[in-house]
Each structure stands twice: as C-alpha cells, then as structure tokens.
C-alpha cells in the first residue's frame, strides 16, 4: 500500500512542499519563518543542532527582541500547518530541549535523490557506463534551478548550494564527454542543449564553454560559433580579466577559415556588449556594475554625499592566496558576489576590481558605520563555508571630499 502521509519537498529552482495533494508551500510561493524552520529541520535530519543554531540561522543579524519566543511561535505554527496537511504534530519533536524532525516520519527530498544519483554515477567504481549515463540524465533533470533561490542569502545554505551546483556541473560535463565520444549526431545536439542550460547558471565555466563550442563544431555550426564567440570572449575579459583558453580560440579559428568576417564587425559587437546590462532581471540587493561604470558612479555619489552631509566609504574585499586553483577562485568569487549583493542595500554599489577583488561603495551617516558592514561580511563568509582554501580580507578607504 502506498504511503499517504509522506512529506515531499522539492528545493531545486524554488521551494515546494506537500503531503499528497495538500501543499504547505507551492512552487514560487513565499517562504515564511515556519517554512524556513521546516527546511532547516529537513536538511538536518539526524544532525545534532541546538536551538541557538536554529535561531542564528533563521534570524541571524535581524533585530528580534525575543528570538527564543520567535522560534517557539514558528514551531507552533509549523506543527499546526503539518497537522492540517495530514501529518501528526509529533513530526516536530523536542530532543534534549532542542527542536528536531522526527526521523520516523517519512520524507522525500529531491536533494537526497540528487545526491544518491551523483554518488552512483560519479563516486561508485564499477558502475556500468549505461547506468552512469542514466543517473547523470536523471540528476541533471532534477536540478531544475539553483538550490533554494529564495533563501540564497542564508549563510547556512551557501556551502550546500555551492556543493550541489558543482555536482550538477560535474555531471553535465561527464555526460557531455560520454555523448561527444559517440559518432551519433544526436549526442552533440544533446550536449549543446545540456551546456546551454548549465551556462545560464555558470557562464564563466571554461569547461562548459569548451563542451558547448565542441558540440557546435561537431555539428559544423560555424555561423553559431562566429556569433557566440565574441559574446563569451567579452564576458570573460569583463568578469575574469582573462582571455578564453586556447582550446576555444582554436575552434573560433576553425570557424573563421574562409568566412567573410570583417574584424570591425566583431569590434562593433564588443562595443555594443559593453553598453548593455546582461542581467535584465529585477535588481535584488546592491547594484553590481563594471569598474568603468563604478568610477563614474563614485563621482556622482561623492558629490551627492557632500551636499547631504554623508560619508562615502570604500571597502576592498580581497580573497587570498592569489595562487589558488583557477576554477576554485572563479567559483568562490561568484559566490562572494552573491553574498555581497544580498547583504548590502539596494542603494549601495560594488564592482569587480581584480582577479580576486571586489570594491564596495557605501554612503553612511557616520564614518564608523562601515565597521558593521565589514564585520558582518567577514562573519558571513566564514560561517558560509564557501571555501576552505581562500580567505577574505577587507580594507577600508575614506575618499577625500570633492570640492
């Protein structure tokens, strides 16, 4: 007989939680504190956590007068909602006076299924190639988007989200290699689709870009290579400060042979790309811009601050050591970019300054206010566990007034 009181949760691409046809959270719905508490407990089944850790995770730096009372209210509301959906209130238990999910209540999480598929495909020696391919396809299909995007600014989820994304990308790359090894044209077409989707999440992955261009070459799509290459090359110069690897440049040269491609056309495309915003989605948190734009905004903000009797503070965020592996540096820099964007106000501005640096511009009433931002940024980076290799340093500068 099918289990009817099993809680099912999908966390890729957004949160969805239901028991049968009773939904506690629908896809794209608002994630309130009781549901955030539920997510925390589900992801820590069998892990010893304290109520203090839960309060820190859910409220963090928020000014809550009575966090213990807020947690108690969230747990009470959650129990009521679970009971209404057909689950017993005993699914939230207190163990040594700490809240926990009752391990006897069945739960199905898409993230658990994803991790099992990854372990079978990528970490189990002797798995038949056809099973590896099947597991990779199923896992890639499960990854409908980034892990819990509505909670992307929660430090306790950042390391897990980063690990899941890297697992997804590694399976995309592995599956792409298996498909490209085949002589079947449909394999290259599938790789093109796989990489196009993955590049929406990780556009600065050299490995993904290489597989994508290799698939285009295998399909003899020279025009697509010629059109796509300048866009990618320009993006890498802007975001990474480095050219594309030789393996991709060689594919561009292959596509250029015999093609009527005046170089002024490429320069025109690159100029146009410098003048547009790549991300047309609504801005969340601080505004990220190229450094040249940052310099112009700096002059405007400093002038405005002088009139309004405010101070402008510059913070330079540096990740060390510089000799860290390239892909690790790129991955961590992208994570830090999201960390900064979600932590600062919408009126704050920041930009990439170097291979391993971001520069932040803050308008404050008191020059010492920057210390709160600096300390919070360092604390959240350390707690997030994004990297065990790269360490964050933050230095401050107070610009001279512009007369």
Could you say which of 1.20.190.20, 3.40.50.300, 1.25.40.10, 2.60.40.1120 is the CATH number of the domain covering 111-274?
1.25.40.10
Would you list the domain boundaries of the chain? Answer: 32-105, 111-274, 287-397
pLDDT at 1: 34
Those residues with Cβ within 8 angstroms of residue 51's Cβ, 6 or more apart along the chain or in another chain: 68, 71, 97, 98, 99
**CA dist., res. 91 & res. 83, Å (int):** 9
Cβ 134 vs Cβ 162: under 8 Å: no
CA distances, 80 to each of 44, 55, 372 (Å): 21, 20, 38
- β-bridge pairing 16-19 and 7-10: antiparallel
Asked if CATH classification 3.30.70.270 holds for the domain at 287-397, the reply, yes or no, is: yes
Nearest alpha-carbon partner for 384 in 62, 63, 162, 147: 162
Residue 382 phi, psi (nearest 5): -65, -45
Mean pLDDT of 270-283: 47
pLDDT tens by residue, 361-401: 988 877 788 888 899 999 989 888 888 889 999 998 766 55
Q: What is the token pair recorded at 113?
A: 């299924």
**CA dist., res. 315 & res. 308, Å (int):** 21
- β-bridge pairing 391-397 and 311-320: antiparallel
Could you say which of 3.30.70.2740, 1.10.3720.10, 1.10.10.10, 3.30.360.10 is the CATH number of the domain covering 32-105?
1.10.10.10
pLDDT tens by residue, 292-341: 778 878 877 877 766 666 778 899 999 998 788 888 888 888 889 889 98
Cβ 84 vs Cβ 74: under 8 Å: no
Return the exposure string of 316-351: e unless at least 16 CB atoms fall within 10 Å of the residue's CB, then b: ebbbeeeebeeeebbbbbbbbbbbbbebbeeebbbb
């Amino acid at each position: 007989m099918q289990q009817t009181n099993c809680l099912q949760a999908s966390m890729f691409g957004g949160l969805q939680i239901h028991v049968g046809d009773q939904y506690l959270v629908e896809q794209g719905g608002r994630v309130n504190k009781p549901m955030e508490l539920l997510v925390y407990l589900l992801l820590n089944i069998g892990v010893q956590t304290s109520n203090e850790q839960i309060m820190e995770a859910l409220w963090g730096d928020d000014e809550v007068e009575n966090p213990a009372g807020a947690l108690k209210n969230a747990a009470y509301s959650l129990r009521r909602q679970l009971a209404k959906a057909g689950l017993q209130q005993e699914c939230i238990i207190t163990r040594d006076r700490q809240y926990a999910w009752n391990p006897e209540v069945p739960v199905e999480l898409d993230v658990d299924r994803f991790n099992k598929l990854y372990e079978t495909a990528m970490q189990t020696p002797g798995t038949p190639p056809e099973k590896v391919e099947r597991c990779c396809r199923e896992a890639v299909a499960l990854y409908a988007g980034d892990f819990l995007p509505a909670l992307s600014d929660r430090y306790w989820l950042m390391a897990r989200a980063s690990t899941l994304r890297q697992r997804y990308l590694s399976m995309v790359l592995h599956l792409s290699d298996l498909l490209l090894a085949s002589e079947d044209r449909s394999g290259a077409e599938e790789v093109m689709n796989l990489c196009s989707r993955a590049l929406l999440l990780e556009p600065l992955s050299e490995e993904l870009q290489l597989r994508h261009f290799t698939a285009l070459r295998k399909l003899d799509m020279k025009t697509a290579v010629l059109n796509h290459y300048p866009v990618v090359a320009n993006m890498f110069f802007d975001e990474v400060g480095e050219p594309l690897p030789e393996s991709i440049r060689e594919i561009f040269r292959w596509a250029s042979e015999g093609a009527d491609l005046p170089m002024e056309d490429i320069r025109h495309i690159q100029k146009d790309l410098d003048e547009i915003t790549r991300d047309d989605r609504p801005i969340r948190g601080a505004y990220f811009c190229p450094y040249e734009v940052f310099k112009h905004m700096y002059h405007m903000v400093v002038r405005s601050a002088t009139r309004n009797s405010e101070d402008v503070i510059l913070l330079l965020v540096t990740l060390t050591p510089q000799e860290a592996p390239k892909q690790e540096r790129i991955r961590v820099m992208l994570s830090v970019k999201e960390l900064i964007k979600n932590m600062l106000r919408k009126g704050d501005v920041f930009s990439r300054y170097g291979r391993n640096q971001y520069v932040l511009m803050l308008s404050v009433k008191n020059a010492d206010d920057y210390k709160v931002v600096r300390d919070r940024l360092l604390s959240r980076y350390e707690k997030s566990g994004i990297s065990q290799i790269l360490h964050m340093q933050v230095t401050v500068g107070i610009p001279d007034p512009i007369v």
